[in-house]
Amino acid sequence: MRRHLSNIWRLGIKELWSLWRDPVMLVLIAYTFTVSVYTAGTAMPETLHQAPIAILDEDASPLSARIAAAFYAPQFVAQHLQSPAEMDAAMDAGSITFALAIPPGLQRDVLAGRSAELQLNVDATRMSQAFSGSGYVQQIVLGQVTEFVQRHRTGTALPVDLALRARFNPGLQQMWFGALMQIINNVTLLSIILTGAALIREREHGTIEHLLVMPVTPTEIMLAKVWAMGLVVLLAAWTALQLVVRTLLQVPVEGSIPLFLTGAALCLFATTAMGIWLATLARSMPQFGLLMVLIMLPLQMLSGSMTPRESMPALVQNVMLLAPTTHFVELAQAILYRGAGLDVVWKPFACLLVIGSALFGLSLHRFRKTIAQMA
């Protein structure tokens, strides 16, 4: 047993030295867990943030002033214009996304019960802001008009008052979701790339033949790659969580970091084995990249990191229970967002252990078969 552990340790150190001499992989790791995480947290396309809106107030009434004052940061950056020509010029120049024109006599018509119309021009080339922002503008205008009318007329109070309480993310900030989910997705992505690339690199350089004449077993070779590449990804994920998410983006983490890293280690056990299995199927790095596309898209899009699994078809939900990323996303969200303990997330932990063992056994069988063909 001591000899087996020594072989696994020394082979793992060899993998780390090989990675250290590969500047492309080092740059990929640094980018994946720094710039990629930061941009995912600050550039969510569906988030309405600092959207430029121009307001043309031709009514100059308390109601129009109330409407104009309702557009403020961080959702909007408002600027007031003096004429329709300025509004058209700003829209044509692309300096504004929304242009709200308040016609003269708006307050008079509203208080008299007559129909009143406001014009909202939208630059639809900025599709993400235009889609979400149009609804925001309509809600703000209607809300301000309703409140203004209720102060001048006797309205009937509604029998139900809905009180909204947002837990775990009271400000509904997309940054909190995007940054953490990017780390979770990158753990899967990078672990598969590193282990698969390490095996293909050895086969292309001929160093795998050197291992075949050494007193080591395929199990020891696989375990060395798993712990070495898994350790690199785990350290990178912890660094991104501490420096980028908590320090730079100021995103609060509610739960236990060691518990999350334990779950990440179980996920890495499964995904690194998957990377070795894909490397045994591919004959070159381009083929490995194509296989990665087929595997990573379902793993990331259907695991619950982008959309809730409950909104997916029942067949997809059941099939994705076999994927390690599904259970990793579940435990990561529970720990990092809701502060869950082991008594809550023990089921995903157990599922990851079972799935990882199965994938490791499958990869080991395929790896032995590949080595036998090369011998």
Residue 154: pLDDT band with limits 50, 70, 90:
low
pLDDT at 354: 95
Pairing of strands 51-57, 76-81: parallel
pLDDT, position 313: 87
Tell me which residue range forms the domain holding 72: 51-150
Higher pLDDT, 201 or 209: 201
Q: Is the pLDDT of residue 158 over 60?
A: no
Query: Does one domain contain both 128 and 112?
Result: yes
One domain, residues 55 and 30: no
Q: CB count, 10 Å around CB of 340?
A: 20
**pLDDT bucket at 170, cuts 50 / 70 / 90:** confident
Query: Considering the entire predicted model, what is its pTM?
Result: 0.75
72 falls within a domain: yes
Q: What residues contact 100, with CB distance under 8 A and at least 6 apart? A: 53, 54, 55, 56, 67, 71, 118, 119, 120, 121, 137, 141
Average pLDDT over residues 290-302: 87
- Whether residues 197 and 342 share a domain: the answer is yes
Q: Please answer whether residues 47 and 174 qualify as being in contact, where contact means their C-beta atoms are separated by less than 8 angstroms.
A: yes
**Interacting residues of 319 by C-beta distance below 8 A, sequence separation 6+:** none
* Residue 209, pLDDT score: 66
pLDDT score of 134 more than 80: yes
Model confidence pLDDT, tens digit, residues 78-109? 888 888 888 888 888 888 889 999 999 988 98
Residue that terminates a domain, selected from 116, 150, 184: 150
Q: With 70 as the cut, is the pLDDT of residue 365 above it?
A: yes
Mean of per-residue pLDDT scores for the chain: 85
Count CA atoms closer than 13 A to 52's CA, side-chain side: 12
Question: How far is residue 240's CA from residue 41's CA, in Å, rounded to a whole number?
Answer: 12
pLDDT at 214 over 80: no
**Contact criterion met (CB below 8 Å) for 255 and 208:** no
Looking up residue 117, the CATH number of its domain turns out to be 3.40.1710.10
User: Residue 152: which pLDDT band, with cuts at 50, 70 and 90?
Assistant: low
Mean pLDDT of 257-271: 93
The total number of structural domains that make up the chain: 2
| Residues forming a β-bridge with 78 | 53
**Claim to verify: residue 141 and residue 175 sit in the same structural domain:** no
The answer to whether residue 155 scores a pLDDT higher than 60 is no
Q: What pLDDT is recorded for position 374? A: 61
Q: With respect to residue 155, please indicate whether it lies within any of the assigned structural domains.
A: no
- Structure confidence at residue 359 (pLDDT): 92
Residue 181 CB neighbour total at 10 angstroms: 22
Q: 75 or 61, which is more confident?
A: 61
pLDDT at 39 over 80: yes
Kindly list the strands in the beta sheet with 98-102, ordered across the sheet, starting from the edge strand earlier in the chain. 76-81, 51-57, 98-102, 119-122
Evaluate whether residue 156 is within a structural domain: no
| Whether 117 and 200 share a structural domain | no
Let me know if residue 166 belongs to a domain.
no
28 and 73 within one domain: no
Q: Residue 15: pLDDT band by 50, 70, 90 thresholds?
A: confident
